[in-house]
Amino acid sequence: MRTEILCVGTEILLGNIVNTNAAYLARQCAELGLTSYYQTVVGDNEERLMEALKIAAQRSELILLSGGLGPTEDDLTKEVCAKFAGKKLVMHDGSKERIAAYFSARGLKPTDNNWKQAMIPMDSVVFENNNGTAPGLAMTAGEVKMILLPGPPNELIPMFEESVKPYLQKLSNDVILSQMVKLCGVSESAVETQIKDLIDGNTNPTLATYAKTGEVHVRVTAKAESQKEAQKLVKPVVKELKRRFEKDIYTTEADVTLEKAVVDLLIANNMSITCAESCTGGLLSARLISVPGVSEVYKAGFITYSNKAKRKLLGVKKGTLQKYGAVSEQTAYEMVKGLLDETKTDVGIAITGLAGPGGATPEKPIGLVYIACNIKGTIVVHECHFKGNREKIQESSTSYAMMLARQCLLEYISKVTFGKKE
């Protein structure tokens, strides 16, 4: 069913709030197999909302609206939809009772404008609001279905889960299944070149690539009459991607991040990790610590911003810093070596670089970053050249470090496993 999302609210138009409702509803549509081609935002304005409804009704069969169901004069979504559909507003006794109960439970008295929220367009289906006073509604305007939802996410989301999703499931015939294949250490254009035949040769499932800093995600999406059939379409394509990219793929699960993949690998192999950061200032540790359950493998980390800190905390030699500078292969090597010597951890990562804006020299430009990984004494150092502002260079550095840690870990594990087999 061709669906679109129409969010009503001047605060979105002014950029005062980010439209997370649209993203939530879009994900729900994708899961329900509702094809969504457009999202629109209009302010709390009768004329422009009416225009937006007309446009939406011409190109879609289902319109999901959010916002503008509040008690104030500004809120006019329901009124405009009723007008658009040519339906009268009538008092809904159930909603009236719920509003009365909502206020009395809080020891408050409803004001006159609160009863406005109990008025509904004739022949509407009412979705109860367990977290506020505005009921949700399903109604039709000619051939077009409209679902009206309250704006606050803490009202919209539970209402959708509890009432709207079951209502929509009954309307839909198709199932849409998406699988994410996430890669690191390869560029988007390289991935695209390598799977051009798959992109061009497939219409169901479809393939699409998305670039993230240091990562590429490939989404494989199939449409079928059942979950099982959709899986049958997706599976061989994912298998082929795995064959082509092998170890560049760090997960095929939508909610697994690169840092989670690294932490999972560490937990599975009973190995601990620590970081020594200069130009990233704690961001690498913070990315690891964003993973719930990381305490099993991460105990401590160091931010060694000054030369003195590199010497005192990690044992980098004064001569090394003098001869090669803080941003050098040699310093990165000694940082990551000292890091494991000091902490007796299994895996260490060190980053030293120039994030800018100051500090560049002809030999050492902004964006020059050395990233070192030490696994039980085996050390590698990579020289990287990143672009962008300070923030972007820091982000690229942590992504690269995460990728390098994963790569070294996989190599180490495969050797150890191989050794055991002998």
Site for its own copies in 327-346 (CB under 8 A): none
The span of 22-30, 85-93, 239-247, 402-410 binding its own copies (CB under 8 A) equals 22-30
* Nearest distance in Å: CB 257, its own copies: 12
| Alpha helices, H only, 36-138 | 46-59, 77-85, 93-105, 112-115
List the one residue from 87, 305, 382, 411 that touches its own copies (CB under 8 A).
Answer: 305
Distance CA 419, CA 286 (A): 34
Distance CA 397, CA 371 (A): 8
Footprint on residues 259-298 left by its own copies (CB under 8 A)? 275, 277, 279-286, 288-290, 292-295, 298
Helix (H, G, I), strand (E, B) or coil at 147: strand
Site string for its own copies, 116-145 (x = CB under 8 A): --------------xxx-------------
Site string for its own copies, 180-199 (x = CB under 8 A): -------xxxx-xx--x--x
The span of 19-27, 79-87, 333-341, 370-378 binding its own copies (CB under 8 A) equals 19-27
Footprint on residues 201-240 left by its own copies (CB under 8 A)? 208-211, 213, 219
List the one residue from 1, 38, 140, 317 that touches its own copies (CB under 8 A).
Answer: 38
Distance CA 22, CA 90 (A): 29
Cβ contact 49:80 at 8 Å? yes
List the one residue from 245, 302, 333, 412 that touches its own copies (CB under 8 A).
Answer: 302
72: contact with its own copies by CB under 8 A: yes
Q: Please spell the DSSP secondary structure of 214-275, one letter per residue.
A: TEEEEEEEEEESSHHHHHHHHHHHHHHHHHHHGGGEEES-TT--HHHHHHHHHHHTT--EEE
Footprint on residues 356-385 left by its own copies (CB under 8 A)? 356-358, 367, 385
Q: Please spell the DSSP secondary structure of 314-329, one letter per residue.
A: H---HHHHHHH-SSSH
Strand duo 206-212 + 215-224: pairing: antiparallel
Query: Is 122 or 199 the residue whose CB approaches its own copies more closely?
Result: 199
* Nearest distance in Å: CB 23, its own copies: 4
List the one residue from 163, 179, 304, 352 that touches its own copies (CB under 8 A).
Answer: 304
Please name which of 182, 264, 214, 260 lies closest in space to residue 399, comparing C-alpha atoms. Answer: 214
Cβ-count burial 30-69 (b if 16+ within 10 Å, e if not): bebbbbbeebbbbbbbeeebeebbeebbeebebbbbbbbb
List the one residue from 50, 152, 223, 411 that touches its own copies (CB under 8 A).
Answer: 152
Q: Which two three-digit tokens encode residue 13?
A: 């138009």
Query: Is 122 or 300 the residue whose CB approaches its own copies more closely?
Result: 300
List the one residue from 48, 223, 247, 317 that touches its own copies (CB under 8 A).
Answer: 48
Distances (CA, A) of 35 to 22, 164, 203: 14, 16, 15
Footprint on residues 393-422 left by its own copies (CB under 8 A)? 394-395
Distance CA 189, CA 216 (A): 9
For 24, list phi and psi in degrees, rounded to 5: -60, -50
Cβ-count burial 370-404 (b if 16+ within 10 Å, e if not): bbbbbbeeebbbbebebeeeeeebbbbbbbbbbbb
Query: Is 121 or 132 the residue whose CB approaches its own copies more closely?
Result: 132
Query: Is 105 or 268 the residue whose CB approaches its own copies more closely?
Result: 105
Please give the helix or strand (H or E) that residue 311 lies within, else none: helix 307-314
Angle at which helices 258-268 and 390-421 cross, to 10°? 30
* Nearest distance in Å: CB 144, its own copies: 17
Site string for its own copies, 84-113 (x = CB under 8 A): ------------------x--xxxx-xx-x
* Nearest distance in Å: CB 385, its own copies: 5
* Nearest distance in Å: CB 102, its own copies: 6
List the one residue from 32, 33, 36, 63 that touches its own copies (CB under 8 A).
Answer: 36
Query: Is 29 or 139 the residue whose CB approaches its own copies more closely?
Result: 29
